[in-house]
Structure 1
Amino acid sequence: MRAIEITESGGPEVLEWHEVPDPPVGRGDVLIDVTASAVNRADVLQRQGFYNPPAGASPYPGLEVAGVVAEVGADVEQFKVGDQVCALLGGGGYAERVAVPWQQVMPVPDGLTPREAAGLPEAACTVWSNVFMVGRLRRGETLLVHGGASGIGTFAVQLAKALGSHVVATVGSAAKGERVRELGADEVINYREEDFAEKVQADVILDIMGAKYLPGNIRALRTGGRLVIIGLQGGRKGEIDLGAMLAKRISVHATTLRSRPVDEKGVIVRSVVDNVWPLVAAGAVRPVVYAEVPMADAAVAHRMLDSGEHVGKILLVR
């Protein structure tokens, strides 16, 4: 098969389309003929040499795919050859084929093609596990989403709104703000012009920035609020006001998805299928696709992501 290899750490130019060995299919694996994958911030970090795949994962970038089942391992009963599926990966999505533990495989939601579903697994599993399973967002509460125009952000806005929450999102431009409002955000805050902590009181915050936003996030939380940190774009280390946390009974959670054991990912995946896929099938939550780029031209897609101009997902298609 062919796949995108990272020839060395660096810019998008280090991504090259090469012939590589077919992936081995274990007894509990599903082999997927890939229709499309999607670009995530983690792929950029891996390209730059800052985020290696977990032990046992494919060395190729790509944390999600959709396509058609080509083969199943001897112990797999949940899927069969010919099924249209999408999957959450530890790596290997930028390829013509990928082998995935069956626990991380999902049916394509009703009403979508595999190509349309390719950008859903990482966003859906990240948002559902962090905002709802960890953050325990409830109907009527307020969610603050940082990076509301990103792939994660556009999904979080739609899902929280569909489940009855008041949604506030930070964005970097007026144009992005308008698009995020169209997706359901009740309020948008331009972080280049306004201090979000002065504008909102939230019950749950989904944060991709880390240290830079830590003081503001504590200020922006209501009593009993929950801060869930899933990214460190603003740094790894910061000071936290424990007095403010005590006074407001705030909890802070920091999570990753990629490195979790297969069984833990499987719990999240099954919960997404049960709770999120019906909303996707009903049209309440939809994929937001900024661009489709041939997989062999992954460097072009990475340049798009690096520019910061996109809204939603950039897909790699075959």
Structure 2
Amino acid sequence: MSQTIRAVDIRGGTGPVDSLYITDVPKPTIGPNDALVKVKAFGLNRMDLLQREGNYPLPPWAPKTLGCEFSGIITELGSSPEPGFEVGEEVFGLAYGGAYAEYIAVSTKMLARKPDEMTFVQAASIPETYMTSLLAMYITGEFKAGKSILWHAGASSVGIAGIQLSVTGGASAVFATVGSDNKVDFCERDLGATKAFNYHSQDWSQEVLNATGGKGVDVIIDAVGASHFQGDLNAAARDGRIVNLGWLSGTVLPGGVDIKHFIDKRLRYEGTTLRSQELDYQHRLRDLLEGYMDRFRDGTFKVVVEKVFPWEQIVEAHRLMEKNVSKGKIVCTVD
């Protein structure tokens, strides 16, 4: 095998969407616990845009190449991989970076076997999305069956995963906020949300209170940030948990924000992220995700893909994500 591979790079290190291009880079080397995987597809994530623009703090051990979730075929194994993995096996997984490439080196602790019932595109849509949802919902948000839950950006990849996890996890009610009436219908009809609200045309926090008889919601997962902060405090139930995953609307709070509910409702507001977690922590989430694979196999969990691009059209793929109009994953395939 050649000592170079093709990968997506960024002219100048960071920049606008037009700075993305495909070039030759050194072939990644594997460690004792690693696998070298021939990438067949990779999923796009919001953090890819932030990293491209120089606004995402990378873990010090992360490669500079974009991309954290992928599917493909194992072509090489280190001397001490996790038991059971074999060369030629179809897998999908999570990485700290490097998925926008022909090959990726990744710990076998972060690989899962691709079900025969799934395509490479579908498999590449799962790791970051579902592991982030599991982290936010169960570990940080302390969700348990019988609690109610609200997912902001309900038609995003994480929102789609989270709503489905909540429905099958025994939530007493599952709410979502979205940016269009079409997405309201999608969350309710296709994903099983109890109720979704269009934040452009509805006072969603008041609607949540109305739907819960004034009690509020037990767990809120928020990837939107500043514009939803006050609403989160208003809509949360007593002893509620609010988990912040991102800041699509920015990080600076508007004037007049009232924080009284932190005390009178005994609220906890906590931020979390998946990429900076240590390998053993991510391995724990990989194992947790594998417990749900039967739900992908039998179709209980829908893998929603907005559009598939050949990776040579990576600029167009990033442009689509920047528009914030998609439902589900944007995926690129690698020949």
Query: Secondary structure in 2 aligned to 1:168?
Result: strand
TM-score, scaled relative to structure 2: 0.90
Q: Percent identity?
A: 33
Structure whose CA Rg is larger: 2
Query: Does 2:205 correspond to 1:197?
Result: yes
Per the TM alignment, residue 110 of structure 1 is displaced from its structure 2 partner at its CA by: 5.5
Taking the aligned partners of 1:28 and 1:222, their CA distance within structure 2 comes to 45
**Which residues of structure 1 form unaligned runs of 5+?**
none
Query: Secondary structure in 2 aligned to 1:154?
Result: helix
What letter is aligned with 1:172?
A: G
Which one is further off, 15-24 or 132-141?
132-141
Alignment map for 1:1-318 (pairs within 5 Å): 1-8=5-12, 9-78=14-83, 79-109=85-115, 111-165=117-171, 166-181=173-188, 182-200=190-208, 201-238=216-253, 243-274=260-291, 276-318=292-334
Per the TM alignment, residue 279 of structure 1 is displaced from its structure 2 partner at its CA by: 2.1
Query: Secondary structure in 2 aligned to 1:87?
Result: strand
Taking the aligned partners of 2:82 and 2:67, their CA distance within structure 1 comes to 26
Which one is further off, 77-86 or 241-250?
241-250
Inter-CA distance 281–133: structure 2 relative to 1 (3 Å threshold) = farther
Per the TM alignment, residue 136 of structure 1 is displaced from its structure 2 partner at its CA by: 2.1
Per the TM alignment, residue 52 of structure 1 is displaced from its structure 2 partner at its CA by: 4.3
Per the TM alignment, residue 237 of structure 1 is displaced from its structure 2 partner at its CA by: 4.4
Inter-CA distance 237–109: structure 2 relative to 1 (3 Å threshold) = farther
Per the TM alignment, residue 242 of structure 1 is displaced from its structure 2 partner at its CA by: 5.2
Query: Secondary structure in 1 aligned to 2:26?
Result: coil
Taking the aligned partners of 2:100 and 2:218, their CA distance within structure 1 comes to 37
Which one is further off, 139-148 or 37-46?
139-148
**Which residues of structure 2 form unaligned runs of 5+?**
209-215
8 Å contact from structure 1 (residues 145, 206) kept in 2: yes
Per the TM alignment, residue 85 of structure 1 is displaced from its structure 2 partner at its CA by: 1.0
Taking the aligned partners of 2:142 and 2:116, their CA distance within structure 1 comes to 27
CA RMSD of aligned residues (A): 1.6
Query: Secondary structure in 2 aligned to 1:296?
Result: helix
What letter is aligned with 2:271?
A: A
Taking the aligned partners of 2:9 and 2:149, their CA distance within structure 1 comes to 38
Per the TM alignment, residue 140 of structure 1 is displaced from its structure 2 partner at its CA by: 2.9
Taking the aligned partners of 1:273 and 1:109, their CA distance within structure 2 comes to 11
Residue by residue over 1:94-127, the C-alpha shift from the partner in whole angstroms, topping out at 9 and shown as x without a partner, is 1111011122111224621322210100001000
8 Å contact from structure 1 (residues 65, 93) kept in 2: yes
TM-score, scaled relative to structure 1: 0.95
What letter is aligned with 1:232?
A: W
8 Å contact from structure 2 (residues 82, 109) kept in 1: no
Taking the aligned partners of 1:202 and 1:209, their CA distance within structure 2 comes to 17
What letter is aligned with 1:247?
A: D
Per the TM alignment, residue 4 of structure 1 is displaced from its structure 2 partner at its CA by: 0.5
8 Å contact from structure 1 (residues 109, 278) kept in 2: no
Taking the aligned partners of 1:240 and 1:97, their CA distance within structure 2 comes to 48
